[in-house]
A and B are shown apart, each in its own frame.
Chain A
Amino acid sequence: RKEVEQDPGPFNVPEGATVAFNCTYSNSASQSFFWYRQDCRKEPKLLMSVYSSGNEDGRFTAQLNRASQYISLLIRDSKLSDSATYLCVFVSSGGSYIPTFGRGTSLIVHP
């Protein structure tokens, strides 16, 4: 089983739609979780951290389910500018702080 699994998509949604992505992880020692955004032929950039209690940042909501070992990202009121690849990332405990990336989920928001 891969350490991190994501549906590559693409998710093709109209402007204004709500869309959600999940990401499952296999390493139970995973301690910190993040969502990164990567635009075509650009470097990944941090979108938001993910906390056990769930957290929001504007139109974006992230959640963590440790029992089922998955994290999710919900985007409300999608904009054309949200079109990108969304990468889930975890960092294991142990001090090395090496981020492990999923393969990413492609989102295309159309007019």
Chain B
Amino acid sequence: DTGVSQDPRHKITKRGQNVTFRCDPISEHNRLYWYRQTLGQGPEFLTYFQNEAQLEKSRLLSDRFSAERPKGSFSTLEIQRTEQGDSAMYLCASSSSSRPRDRGYGYTFGSGTRLTVV
């Protein structure tokens, strides 16, 4: 298992374009999380899946943001009509409900996708 993979690593887009990011979690992890991180801040929670069910999406930043996990494996995060304020690092993490607390529930982050909107 190679950990959590995110693609692309970097994305530069023009304002108004749509972008989609992909996250492949650790294969045995049933939970998947998306975060956004801007410079000097900690990761900010966006949304969360357990298997294919999106259990929390109220913290998606606007209706331009949406996420899917159609088969309970990989997930995509889409931002429509990008704005300069969307420039940030988008992090994906996965965990397993069966992992113990002392291992941090197995939360593992991917390397992130750095989005620059010009």
Measured CB to CB, the residues of A under 8 A from B are: 4, 6, 8, 32, 34, 42-46, 49, 87, 91, 96-104
Contacts and interface: CB of A to CB of B under 8 A. Distances in A.
Main secondary structure of the interface of A (DSSP, over half): strand
Contact of A98 (B56, B97, B101, B109): B56
A95 B110 CA distance: 23
Interface residues of B, number: 26
Interface stretch (B12-20, B41-49, B76-84): B41-49
Given A87-B42, A96-B55, A44 B109 contact: yes
B111 A100 contact: no
Given A43-B91, A43-B112, 7 more contacts: A46-B107, A87-B42, A96-B55, A97-B95, A98-B33, A98-B56, A103-B40
B104 interface: yes
A42 B114 CA distance: 11
Can you list the 5 inter-chain pairs with the closest CB atoms, starting with the nearest?
Answer: A101-B42, A43-B109, A46-B104, A103-B42, A101-B43
A6 B40 CA distance: 12
Contacts of B31: 97
Given A43-B112, A96-B48, A96-B55, A34 B42 contact: no
Contact of A43 (B44, B95, B103, B110): B110
A95 B95 CA distance: 13
A42 B104 contact: no
A29 to B, nearest CB: 15
A95 to B, nearest CB: 9
Contacts of B112: 43
B102 interface: yes
A102 B44 CA distance: 9
B8 to A, nearest CB: 15
Nearest to B111: A43
A17 B55 CA distance: 44
Contact of A97 (B42, B105, B111): B105
Nearest to B105: A97
Nearest to A104: B42
B61 to A, nearest CB: 16
